[in-house]
Chains A and B, each alone.
Chain A
Amino acid sequence: MNQPSRPTVPLVDIASCFEGVIPSTICSCAKDGTPNLTYLSIVHCIDANHVGLSNQFFNKTWKNIQENPRAQVIVCKPETGDQFRLDLRYERTVTEGLVFGRIKTRLDAIASQTGMSNIFKLRGVDIYEVLDCRYTAFPLHSETAEIESGDDVLALDAFMERISTSTDLDSFLDESLKALSALFDYDHSFLMVPDEQQQNLFTIASHGFDASGVGSEVCIGEGIIGVAAKQKTIIRIASLARDVVFSRAVRSGVELHGVGGPLEREIALPGLLSGQSNLVVPILAQDGLLGVLCLQSPVPGRFRASDERLMRIVSRHLAARMALLHVQERTNSITEVKPTSPQGIFRSHRESVVRYFRADDSIFIDDGYLIKGVAGKIFWKLLKIHGATGRTDFSNKEIRLDSSLNLPDFKDNLESRLILLRRRLAERCDFLVLSRVSRGQIHLDVRRRLILEEL
């Protein structure tokens, strides 16, 4: 039995070469001696002496490899520009299993994001033994050595401490994203939660963006975030701009020659317009989807495998804490509320029109869109009660038990919906304020006369 190869430079030392930040090249050779080169978006590191290449377009390489299993790949470290030669020998092709699934999920996510789901089909992952890995030439002195993450445990400990002090979902969400920034330098993050039907995700909290994006939605199963949510798998994209450019190159060829499956639209990714690096982390509790944590960076290759491992741990703690807060919120809801402030005392003589559209439960204030869906329906109910009785204080429990709202019995997202509503109001309307008085109780402050219209 052959001994496993021992590359001169261990693959683990050049892990960032396998993030897909800088394209690689594979050189193969036909049996007649003609060399062939093909550019690769990404080379996947499988273990200490194997790499995997996704088998999609490089047919000439595939043909050559069947005739002559030797190949050479050049990879590049994105943080330094150091290049490495990997001498390879084709071993086998896998069409199922862990490695295939991981690579397929990533490809599916990018394909969905760029509207190429009918074009990008992973036929297999070709596994190559790495016979050697070495510098292409001069191993230059590095001034930008990789920063070891020796303080990760300390940062994790501090993170747990910070999020454990939050007693309600609202402050927990904000504190979590702030702590990710302060402790791990993840400066752009947002958190999405699923709707009641588990069909869409909506942004409930964000950190580090010019506009909060609260309320923005993606379909579960569509795009990088939607695929991560549906597959319940972390997806890490190192250079979205390159992936988009690659997809557009294929798209223009398909459009020009009319071959391949039907094209879909490109999907806009929420968050940074210049978001090169994306780390999308499902938050799961007993395999149920509680939310999705999305980290972004304008720097290509910002998130490494170590960040993925770290966020896997963080997501488990977020899930546990979110589940606990949901349970506390439901079990400790207040039934009776305090007397209300009198109706008709406004701090402004101006009036505004609030329109409710039954078709999609959307609410517009003076023709400006506020919210739709379950949150819209809840808000309309509160406004109508306030308009009729002057009440300003409400309990979560009475909302939950209100049969006219048709909230689901189990796993309702009431607290998430109320947080979304509060934040949308805070961003878009200065005369309607919804605040959390105590656990399970909210207060509606109406500072202007309202004209309510239901359409």
Chain B
Amino acid sequence: MSDCLLNDQIRGFLHSGVAVMMGTRDADLIPEAIRGWGPVETADGTINVCIGLAAGQKTLENLADNRQVTLALSSPLNYAQYQIKGRCAQVVEANAEDVSRVESHREAFIIACESIGTARSVIERLYLQDVGDPPVLVNVRFEPEQIFNQTPGPTAGNSL
């Protein structure tokens, strides 16, 4: 368990309108990426993030196989980026609270994308393609172990 691995800056970043991607791999080390929605830090220091069930079949198989997971966060507004690596603790069907959180995140992400010229309709469609209509989501809870600064530039890749 990793209490307080996230500082306030990264916590605020995690809960803002950032792009979220989840990465896993299978037993043959073949990587798999999927878009994540509604990331949040829980009281015990783990992170919850939702993925679409249909788009996430391979990801879920990978998590069941080896639990290794990484989460990349990127702000459309300024390209600030972080990556959080850890181990999956639990996968459960998303509840109403999760769905509400996902919708809040989606809206914040849309607003951020609109400010740099991407149409709302594009992100809404991207979301529906990811999670289905109506959305069918699963919640992935994982324990963060390492955080990296990935903002492009001389310090990209530095561990925090």
Partner of A140, one of B81, B85, B122, B128: B128
With A136-B34, A241-B116 known as contacts, the answer to whether A253 contacts B129 (CB < 8 A) is no
A184 and B30 alpha carbons, distance in the complex (Å): 45
| Interface SS of chain A | mixed
Q: Which stretch of B5-13, B42-50, B96-104, B152-160 is in the interface? A: B152-160
Q: Which stretch of A42-50, A69-77, A94-102, A104-112 is in the interface? A: A69-77
Interface contact B54-A39, CB-CB below 8 Å: no
Q: Which stretch of A80-88, A352-360, A383-391 is in the interface? A: A80-88
* Binary contact track A303-337/B, C-beta < 8 Å → 1, others 0: 00000000000000000000000000000000000
Interface contact A70-B155, CB-CB below 8 Å: no
A29 and B27 alpha carbons, distance in the complex (Å): 11
A160 and B81 alpha carbons, distance in the complex (Å): 49
A245 and B78 alpha carbons, distance in the complex (Å): 6
Question: Residue on B with the closest CB to A39?
Answer: B74
- CB within 8 Å of B: which residues of A? 21-23, 25-29, 31, 33-39, 57-60, 68, 70-74, 76, 78-83, 85, 87, 135-140, 239, 241-242, 245-246, 248-254, 257, 259-260, 276, 298-300
With A27-B33, A35-B68, A83-B126 known as contacts, the answer to whether A260 contacts B154 (CB < 8 A) is yes
With A35-B69, A245-B79 known as contacts, the answer to whether A27 contacts B122 (CB < 8 A) is no
Interface contact A34-B78, CB-CB below 8 Å: no
Interface contact A79-B122, CB-CB below 8 Å: yes
* Binary contact track B100-142/A, C-beta < 8 Å → 1, others 0: 0000000000000000111001111111111010000000000
| Interface SS of chain B | mixed
Which chain B positions have C-beta within 8 A of A137? 52, 54-55, 129-130, 132
Which chain B positions have C-beta within 8 A of A76? 126
Interface contact B117-A72, CB-CB below 8 Å: no
What would 15 more interface pairs be, CB under 8 Å, given A37-B33, A73-B33?
A27-B23, A27-B25, A28-B31, A29-B30, A34-B70, A37-B72, A38-B72, A39-B150, A70-B30, A78-B118, A138-B128, A248-B78, A249-B80, A253-B151, A300-B117
With A57-B152, A249-B78 known as contacts, the answer to whether A74 contacts B35 (CB < 8 A) is yes
Partner of A37, one of B23, B78, B122, B155: B23
Which chain B positions have C-beta within 8 A of A135? 129
A299 and B69 alpha carbons, distance in the complex (Å): 36
Is residue B83 within 8 Å, beta carbon to beta carbon, of the partner chain? Answer: yes
A49 and B58 alpha carbons, distance in the complex (Å): 23
Which chain B positions have C-beta within 8 A of A36? 23, 70, 83, 85
How many Å from the CB of B129 to the closest CB on chain A? Answer: 5
